[in-house]
Chain A
Amino acid sequence: MPKLTIDGKEIEVAPGTNLIEAARALDIEVPHYCYHPGLSVAGQCRLCMVDIEKAPRPTIACNTVATDGMVVWTQTERVLETRKSIMEFHLINHPLDCPVCDQAGECWLQIYYMKHGLYDPRMVDEKVHKPKAVPLGPHVILDAERCILCSRCVRFCDEVTATGELGIFDRGDRSEIGLFPGRELDNKYSGNVVDICPVGALTDRDFRFQVRVWYLDAAKSICPGCARGCNIEVHVNRRRPHHAQGRRVARLKPRFNAAVNKWWICDDGRYGFGFVDDGSRLRSPLQREGGQQLPVAWDEAIAGVAGALTAHPPAETGVIASPKMANEDLFALRRVLDRRGVTQVGFAVRPRVPGDEDKLLIRADKNPNTRGAELIGLGGDTAAILAAARARRIRCLWIFGHDLLDAGWPEAETRAALGAVETLIWSGTNANATSALARWVLPSAAWVERDGTFTNFEGRVQRFRAAVDQLGEALPDWEILGRVLTALGEPTLAARAEHWFRELGRSVPAFAGMTYQSIGDTGQMVGATREAARA
């Protein structure tokens, strides 16, 4: 392994490591635009110059591999002067429209200019003007004047999605990023080009003009969009709600996880949070009175549900859990089922259209916690439960989240099943055609409103954290189920999601020994602790 010295500090790095990464390992930042660890090296922006002893002139760090005995300086006068010149060069035709640019506050032109700017511009000529506010596709909009032609977006489309939509057309100071005339940037991962664009050239149409980025708060989370469980950050607007008509979730951004999603997320996941602030959200428990569902207090609803579970013998009771529920919820549900001896439980509902899948991230299973639901032992035959309901053998049915009337089963049969049930209980975040039929409706907190864990298809248990308050009176499912359990005579002390997870670790072998601490920010494989203990 090559050992080199950077700014007087020694470090050993893996063979093939370039100087930007070697410096990063020492917490030394080499300013750069075009280099991205997930893409090929282009050497395009020239900002990453460093001095290497015995080299006659500054050299780009991104395209220089660390070698044994190399002595590198990142702060020499010559390097600083070079950075200043490169910054001046990048800004020659830049429109300086920061006041109306979404990138402002997280723009690498701004960030590096603070440190390496000339501050006394020499440009006297008219700037070259280019197209502004050009929609490239459903999610991305281009301002060609702000582009520094780093080619990251081009390389992303070439190397990651292999769709090759973007190019750099024309030449010299008229060069600009664009699409082949008549085409769109509409691949399944297009939003990522906004993340990797270091400046405000590519911005997000959904996020556009919603809120200034410095008003955002962030929470570490997991995408609930499919079984991959991509690591994300949830960016929320709590401080300026009036800037976005009360919309709380501003955007989702990928969070690096080498073992799961690297730097990327898909567009379905990125823009899949609309339901959180949608008008269909359930804000309080409901009870059906005649033809109408009317709001009731939680105490009443809990008593009603516990009463129904007690009144109906277990053989007459069925539960359709959801693989969108967190491990904590599913385990609390497990407890409720065990308390009453209910055995007719399943969670899998055939989707109306089969999910799409690809080789990069997207999984056909659009549920974040199928594996968790299986491991917690809730994987029974859902279709059989519905058939039993239709045959009036199941009289009390509790459904979590699903809209069974919008599933891959004949709607009339499902409707017959739901109509035949005496007590229909429905838990979930947003009202739908199935919830509209329920006697009791219990409003669940959305994933961004609470803590929890999902187990992805590979068996990686990953944490998501509350980013905003619960809407109205909605509660996390684990809390609702805990209250039901208490009403059934088994008082629970679990006051936080974490307590339920600890219980889960004690009861289900796959989760043995796991804690929120051991899962950390990057997740932990089920069974890992057991194997470690055995070894």
Chain B
Amino acid sequence: MSLTAPLAFPPEQLAEVHRLQALYPDRRAALLPVLHMAQDAFGYISLEVEEYVAGLFDMTPAHVHEVVTFYTMFFQRPKGRHVVAICHNLSCHLAGAPRILTHLKERLGVEVGETTDDGRVTLLSVECLCACEHAPMMQVDDRYEFDLTPARVDRILEGLR
């Protein structure tokens, strides 16, 4: 998690990298899970991390950069301790997501894509997360939060330290 950690996986994680690589006929298939591990370990995917991971796969950093820039779940800049991602797709939109988003921006004091000054929360606005039956909804870290109202959002935000 800390950004000052040396840029290498500890031995247990390296073993996990090798286990994942061995699962596929082409070991590059393990790039996605390894990038997720790297994001957890190093906080975000910096260019340095891309070069490190490229080395683990005998790839050039350009090809790791392709993958990192393609997927929105990889952060190329430092992110907050928590990530709040509100769905802005059709169902949520009709069910009041714009109002929830405005509320989130006011409460956090940031625009979409920004992180609060205290490094607590990064706010994102994303495409459909497949929970239309509970619109409007958002994802908070690994959790889904359903049927949002401003009051519910406030309670959720209070729980984020």
Which residues of A come within 8 Å of B, CB atoms?
163-171, 178-183
Contacts and interface: CB of A to CB of B under 8 A. Distances in A.
Contacts of B70: 169-171
A169 B65 contact: yes
A168 B68 CA distance: 11
B66 A169 contact: yes
Interface residues on chain B, size class:
10 to 19
Contact of B47 (A163, A164, A170, A181): A181
A167 B54 CA distance: 13
B47 A167 contact: no
Contacts of B63: 164, 167
A166 B63 CA distance: 8
Given A180-B47, A181-B47, A182-B47, A163 B69 contact: no
B66 A168 contact: yes
A168 B70 CA distance: 9
Nearest to B59: A164
Contacts of B59: 164
Nearest to B70: A171
Contacts of B69: 169-171
B14 interface: no
Given A171-B69, A171-B70, A165 B47 contact: no
Interface of B: 47, 50-51, 59-63, 65-66, 69-70
A189 to B, nearest CB: 16
A166 B62 CA distance: 6
A164 B60 contact: yes
A180 B46 CA distance: 12
Nearest to A162: B60
A183 B61 contact: yes
A179 B47 contact: no
Closest 7 CB pairs of A and B: A164-B60, A167-B62, A167-B66, A169-B69, A180-B61, A180-B62, A171-B70
A165 B51 CA distance: 13
A contacts with B: majority SS: loop
A181 B59 CA distance: 15
B contacts with A: majority SS: helix
Contacts of B60: 163-165, 180
Contacts of B65: 167, 169, 180-181
Nearest to A165: B62
Nearest to A169: B69
A165 B62 CA distance: 6
Given A163-B60, A167-B62, A170-B70, 17 more contacts: A164-B59, A164-B62, A165-B60, A167-B66, A168-B66, A169-B65, A169-B69, A169-B70, A171-B69, A178-B62, A180-B47, A180-B50, A180-B60, A180-B62, A180-B65, A183-B61, A183-B62
B45 to A, nearest CB: 13
A178 B65 CA distance: 10
Contacts of B50: 180
B68 to A, nearest CB: 9
A168 B63 CA distance: 8
A171 B65 CA distance: 12
A167 B47 CA distance: 14
A164 B60 CA distance: 6
B126 to A, nearest CB: 14
B85 to A, nearest CB: 18
B119 to A, nearest CB: 24
B115 to A, nearest CB: 21
A180 B55 CA distance: 14
Contacts of B62: 164-167, 178-180, 183
A247 B41 CA distance: 57
Contacts of A180: 47, 50-51, 60-62, 65
9 contacts: A164-B59, A164-B62, A164-B63, A170-B69, A171-B70, A180-B60, A180-B62, A181-B47, A183-B62
B152 to A, nearest CB: 33
Nearest to A182: B47
A219 B73 CA distance: 54
A179 B50 CA distance: 13
A182 B60 CA distance: 13
B127 to A, nearest CB: 11
Most central of A164, A165, A171, A180 by chain B CB within 10 Å: A180
Contacts of A164: 59-60, 62-63
A49 B69 CA distance: 30
B31 to A, nearest CB: 13
B57 to A, nearest CB: 11
A179 B63 CA distance: 9
Most central of B47, B60, B62, B65 by chain A CB within 10 Å: B62
Contacts of A171: 69-70
Contacts of B47: 180-182
Nearest to B47: A181
A436 to B, nearest CB: 47
Contacts of A167: 62-63, 65-66
Nearest to B66: A167
Contacts of A170: 69-70
A53 B55 CA distance: 47
A167 to B, nearest CB: 4
